[in-house]
Structure 1
Amino acid sequence: MFELFARGDGGTGRRGALAAACAVAVLAGAGGCGEDGSGGGDGRAAKSPAPAATAPSAGAAPSGGLTEAQLTEAALTEGERAGVHTVSEYVLDGPHSDMYTADPAVCQPLVSLAGDVSGHEPTAQVQRKTDILDDMRGVTVDVTLRSYPGDGAAEVMRALGKAGTECAGGFTEERALVRAGYEKTEPAALPPFADEADEAEAYRFTIRDVKDELKLYEYLTVLRSGSTTLAFRAESLGTEDFGGVPQEVMDAQWKKFRAAAG
């Protein structure tokens, strides 16, 4: 039996539900599964990407990027608490995987920043998730730290900003047999510590479910510090707008990252 609300394997929360629901439809002999996106805002956060030549901050990574061991030290650890959220590690695939692509392709950074599909291969990455235990409809946050060689991290941020601008007319997220329509993309509030980062982008997504019956919400915040990016993607199985990536999760991860980088 398919678990329509599976979490934690690269198809977390809404994405896992979409994939499972579509698989059930296919096995049952149903027709096509998906819908097209339309509409959208400009998708840009208040802080614009810096040119590639901009010098990194004092705590910046070396030109080759942080190693996996260094990222692990800087990442939240399993069992750690961030407010009401509990941190865990992904057993199988992590979030933002190479199974997620966008149509048109310029929108890819809004869907997944995985190296295989984003065109920007990191030298190392560490992924975590946070959940509110015993609350199926609570907000889940996918947290990914990635380090890049050279100007790779700055290039990622430029691609993300370009996607936020050029995908204002809407786009489609594709994963296996599932197609989800992003109805609207608009800027979201940056965390208070964003000024400490070299660059920051934040977005709010309004998404239609595969049956085109419900509106769902996701939030994405990405920050760059030197050659490292910190990405937070928040989602919920509920249909109410939960207001953004939980601040306590971003605060806890940023504080730990800065302490390790410093």
Structure 2
Amino acid sequence: MKRSSGVRLCATVAVGALSLALITDCSDGGSKDAGDGKGGEAGQPAAKALSAAELKKLILAKGDVTGYKVEAVQGGTPAKSAVKADDAQCGPLLRVMTGIAPGDAATETNRTVQEDKKDPTDDATSMADLTDGKFEDALKDSMDRDTTVVVLSSYDGDGAEKAMRSVSDAVKACAGGFTGDQAGDRAKFAKVAEEKSSGTGDASVAFAATSDMEDGDTAPVHVQVVRHGNNLAPYTTVNIGAMMAEKAYSVPGAVVTAQAAKLK
């Protein structure tokens, strides 16, 4: 890949809105039971959603994940009404990849969790002074870090099970790809493929959505959604350096494990 095409791919990933919450730094298919949509055992009181204050105490915070920085999502999160798939059945996938909880969450919050490692360009005199080949390598290395938006949401009654089921059903229904609007930016995904989930929580589903750049380039986004009782924890991960190098990556297990530990 030439220097100009490397810069172009990074820019295309951004304007293509793979996930509005993730590109600010530019810088048995394996799932557990996704939930049966029922509200709990007979005779048991309906689940009550956590308050916003309770949820914020449970979302990942600074120091919770070794080797990662935890920060507020830059730029905020768009309104759910501004994120809409052309096929409504694919809406839960598009919302999760935009940092929005699926279904009808009573409360929700989110954080950006980014792999914390030294930027290889820190030792370079100037990126502009590098030759094309070295510039491309430095650009890939500097962006080769997993960046995950973690959304934590809580639901009343059987809302979490229903939301989980909507994601699981959408993974299957939208396998051939889908299009939609993310707060004014068009998103086009060529395919959606179920992946092996971590197996944490009461139910989980994982998938990769491959973005179609319409110029021969594609870029995968990896997502995992885990249910813990009446709470959901979706994780959406991008690694632009890995995309540019056509290197495999996934939702970091350390992030999923750390968030699961706070929800026990």
Give the secondary structure class of the aligned counterpart of 1:150. coil
Q: Say if 2:166 is the partner of 1:140.
A: no
| AA partner of residue 221 (structure 1) | Q
1:89 to 72, 82, 103: 72
Q: Distance in 2 between matches of 1:16 and 1:170?
A: 26
Aligned twin of 1:110: 93
Q: Which runs of 5+ in 1 are unaligned?
A: 18-41
Provide, for residues 60-118 of structure 1, a one-character-per-residue CA deviation record: whole Å limited to 9, x for no partner: x97221111111111111x325232211112431389553321211101111049xx98
Rounded to whole Å, the distance in 2 between the matches of 1:251 and 1:95 is: 27
Query: Structure 1 CA distance, aligned partners of 2:102 and 2:207?
Result: 21
What is the number of residues matched between the two proteins?
218
TM-score, structure 2 normalization: 0.71
8 Å Cα contact 2:35-2:162 kept in structure 1: no
- Matched to 1:246, the amino acid is P
In structure 1, C-alpha distance between the alignment counterparts of 2:78 and 2:87, rounded to whole Å: 21
Partner of residue 211, structure 2: 207
Q: Which runs of 4+ in 1 moved over 4 A?
A: 3-6, 14-17, 95-98
CA distance in structure 2 between the aligned counterparts of 1:199 and 1:99, rounded to whole angstroms: 28
Q: Distance in 1 between matches of 2:212 and 2:224?
A: 20
C-alpha distance in structure 2 between counterparts of 1:251 and 1:118, whole Å: 19
| Aligned equivalent of 1:249 | 255
In structure 2, the partner of 1:234 is 237
Partner of 2:163: 156
Scaled by the length of structure 1, the TM-score of the pair is: 0.72
Deviations 1:234-258 (A, max 9, x none): 0122323433101111111111221
2:49 pairs, out of 57, 65, 79, with 65
Where does residue 135 of structure 2 map in the other structure?
none
Q: For 1:204-233, what per-residue CA distance to the aligned partner results, in whole angstroms no more than 9, with x for missing partners? A: 122122x43311111110111111001100
C-alpha deviation, 1:150, in angstroms: 0.8
8 Å Cα contact 2:24-2:74 kept in structure 1: no
Q: 1:89 to 1:14 in 2, by over 3 A?
A: closer
Structure 1 residues 223 and 87, CA gap change in structure 2 (3 angstroms): same
Q: Which runs of 5+ in 2 are unaligned?
A: 1-9, 120-141
Q: Confirm or deny that 1:12 pairs with 2:21.
A: yes
- Give the C-alpha shift of residue 124 in structure 1: 1.1
Q: Give the aligned CA root-mean-square deviation in angstroms.
A: 3.2
Query: Percent identity among equivalent residues?
Result: 25
The structure with more helix, counted as a fraction of residues: 2
Tell me which amino acid in the other structure corresponds to 2:31.
Answer: A
Secondary structure (helix, strand or coil) at the match of 1:70 reads: helix
